[in-house]
Chain A
Amino acid sequence: MMATLALAGDCVFQLPNSWVDPSRFEGVLLRGGDALGTEVRRVVFRFPQKCALMIDVVLRLLSFCNQLVAKMKHLRLEFTHRDQAIVGYLSRVGFFDCLPREVEVLPFRPTVSGASLFHGANSGLVEIERFDCKVAADADLRERLSRAVERGCRGRSDSRSVADSVATIFSELINNVEDHSETRLDAFAALQTYPRGDRMTIAVSDSGLGVLNTLRPALETREPRLSRKSDSDLLVEMFRRGISRFDDSDHGCGLKVSARNAVRFGADLDVRLDRTRVLLKPANGAYRPNMAYTQDHLPLVQGTHLAFSLKLS
């Protein structure tokens, strides 16, 4: 199927004909333009035949789509072939179930949801779950995650320990959205194992206020020096010390726990904020500013998008 004609003034995002991780996804956004941060009215995503998305990219794309629709932009997703693998995968993970009905999908939106048919049947996948700050996430989600992690880590002697730790990470990230997001748009969570790459990725994505946007104002009076730090430095401190916008002893331990567990298993932490992406790699038992890879001045994607990626063996 040929790509439809894009009009002048459209934002066209051309996905590559290969695997797309967060870094490549940012490249796509940079080349396509600032769809959310400008007055452009029409947005198109084009998926070539062999395009494949990592699960954290799927969630970021989903949140981005929700935000574009909320801003009354016309959004179209173009798949070159009806049977291409990416369509099947997105259906399987529940992407289309969570995609607003206003989004145009070409050649057509799958009529049968792969996620509904096979929900929970794949040991290496926890399908996209949506939740928001008003409705608590499905309690079974954590249990499904825990079982999926344990199966994915079968080869490790500490699979039970990993499962418990990952379940904690997931739960705390969800808690964080419920406590801080303050948006009517859905948040999303998912897990995917990649046996060939020997990795597991846990992703949580929301369209809320943005974790640093709420933290900085609170720090201006409490710790002004901290409030002036760069995004990557502040993120490291947030995870390291468990800093919260709430100035009490009850908040802030969730992200600290997540980081503690992730570091224990050598997991990379990828964080996408409004216009910044920070990739933290553990070093000497912690996330440190000098081991952070930062991209600034990115096209606007609202909210907080977190992904932990840890080794399976």
Chain B
Amino acid sequence: MNGGKGWGRADGRAVLEQLLAHVEARPEKRVFRVSMEGIEQMDASFASEAIVGLIRRYRGEKGICLENLSLTSEVAMNIDLAAEKAKIPVVVWNGRSGEVLGWKPSSGNRQAFEFALERPQARAAEFAEKVDKMSIANASTKFKQLWEKGFLLRSESAADSGGVEFVYERIG
């Protein structure tokens, strides 16, 4: 980016190509953190192409999150608006604190998302145990919806029962 500033779609597409090349060069890696340190200005059109475009490309298979971004900054607000319009969640980490810009989890799934955000991995059974009157099936549905919409990643592991269970992972 030119001096920490991102303006317009053309520049956004150019940066997207660089980011895509970086991700494609690391096929074994599932989670990428994009540092926003030093990014002084970015308009919504640039954010739409570079940030939202990158996250949307890999939704469901790889996780792209941002770090070092003040949530009250103009940059964050522009990313938020661009991502919300595209229905893409953008996870932002500042230290250990994680927030979402853009598409937010529904009111019914928010608690499940916050549960997952607090730990590297989450299972439906763990969430159901923690929440009063929450069945494992219900918890599983919530996590699945969050994965489908791009809030979480997931992988398969062997369940204690001998079957397969999904393990949900926060992005970052």
Q: How large, as a class, is the contact surface on chain B?
A: 20 to 34
B87–A168 touching, CB < 8 Å: no
Within residues 88 to 118 of chain B, which ones have a CB less than 8 A from any CB in chain A?
A: none
Least CB distance, A189 to chain B, in whole angstroms = 13
**Contacts A139-B7, A167-B41 given; does A242 touch B74 at CB 8 Å:** no
Q: Does B78 contact A (CB under 8 A)?
A: yes
Interface presence of B30 (CB below 8 A): no
B86 & A171 in contact (Cβ 8 Å cutoff):
no
A143 contacts across to B, CB distance below 8 A: 5
Interface residue? A172 (CB, 8 A): yes
Q: Are B86 and A250 in contact (CB under 8 A)?
A: yes
Contacting pair A168 B44 (CB below 8 A): yes
Q: State the total of A-B contacts with C-beta under 8 angstroms.
A: 69
Q: Is the pair B87, A171 in contact by a Cβ cutoff of 8 Å?
A: no
Interface 9-residue window, one of A86-94, A253-261, A293-301: A253-261
User: Would A256 and B81 count as touching, CB distance under 8 A?
Assistant: yes
State whether B85 touches A136 (Cβ < 8 A).
no
Q: Would you call B74 and A171 a contact (CB within 8 A)?
A: no
B8 within 8 Å of A by Cβ?
Answer: yes
A303 at interface, CB cutoff 8 A: no
Determine the chain B residues whose CB is within 8 A of the CB of A175 once the complex forms: 7-9, 43, 45
Cβ–Cβ < 8 Å partners of B45 in chain A: 171-172, 175, 253-254
Contact among A165, A179, A249, A261 with B85 in the assembled complex (CB-CB below 8 Å) = A249
Decide: A253 and B81 in contact? CB cutoff 8 A. Answer: yes
Considering only residues 1-52 of chain B, those with a C-beta below 8 Å from chain A are: 2, 5, 7-10, 41, 43-45, 48-49, 52
B52-74: which residues lie under 8 A (CB-CB) from chain A?
52-53, 73-74
The answer to whether the Cβ of B82 comes within 8 Å of any Cβ in the partner chain is yes
Q: A143 CA to B4 CA in the complex, in Å?
A: 12
In the complex, A252→B9 CA distance in Å?
A: 12
Query: Which chain B residues have a beta carbon within 8 Å of chain A's beta carbons?
Result: 2, 5, 7-10, 41, 43-45, 48-49, 52-53, 73-74, 77-78, 81-82, 85-87
6 new A-B pairs (CB below 8 Å) besides A139-B2, A253-B85?
A: A136-B10, A161-B74, A178-B10, A249-B87, A250-B86, A256-B81
